[in-house]
């Protein structure tokens, strides 16, 4: 692990660059972006294929997210000459450049998800204990 001096320097640099960092993170760190790009990373997919793989996403949320990803240059949309007309979405090289950071984030989520859940449960129990003790007198 980095020493405190390195962490202080890194933190100071991030804070100095926040005006440039924040808008980028706002575009890639929402509820569905990571999962959509993960689905598209191996191969292009049609809308309903993406929707089936992302259990829980609504039609509107997926449509809005895909439009936003296309606007930001992370996804391409290709109209297929089929009957009925189909649309296929593919990840761009820019979107593909997020693969390693997203894989690391997903691996972290798998490794530490139980710890987050346990911490939340412990905090909930502590909160209830505080409420009971403050109303007991």
pLDDT by position in tens, the chain (length 137): 556 788 888 888 888 889 998 899 888 888 899 999 999 989 999 999 999 999 899 999 999 999 999 999 999 999 999 888 889 999 999 999 998 998 898 899 999 999 999 999 998 888 876 665 666 55
Q: 34 near 25, Cβ under 8 Å?
A: no
Neighbour tally for 69: CB within 10 Å: 24
Angle (deg, nearest 10), helices 99-135 and 33-40? 150
Long-range contacts of 80-84 (CB under 8 A, 24+ apart): none
């Amino acid at each position: 692990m980095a020493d405190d001096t390195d962490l202080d320097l890194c933190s100071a640099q991030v804070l100095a660059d926040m005006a440039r960092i924040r808008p980028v993170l706002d575009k890639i760190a929402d509820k569905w972006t990571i999962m959509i790009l993960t689905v598209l990373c191996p191969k292009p997919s049609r809308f309903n294929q993406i929707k089936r793989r992302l259990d829980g996403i609504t039609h509107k949320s997926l449509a809005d997210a895909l439009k936003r990803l296309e606007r930001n240059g992370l996804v391409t949309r290709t109209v297929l000459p089929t009957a009925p007309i189909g649309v296929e979405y593919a990840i761009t090289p820019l979107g593909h450049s997020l693969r390693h950071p997203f894989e690391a984030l997903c691996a972290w989520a798998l490794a530490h998800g139980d710890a987050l859940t346990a911490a939340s449960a412990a905090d909930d129990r502590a909160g209830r204990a505080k409420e009971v003790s403050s109303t007991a007198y």
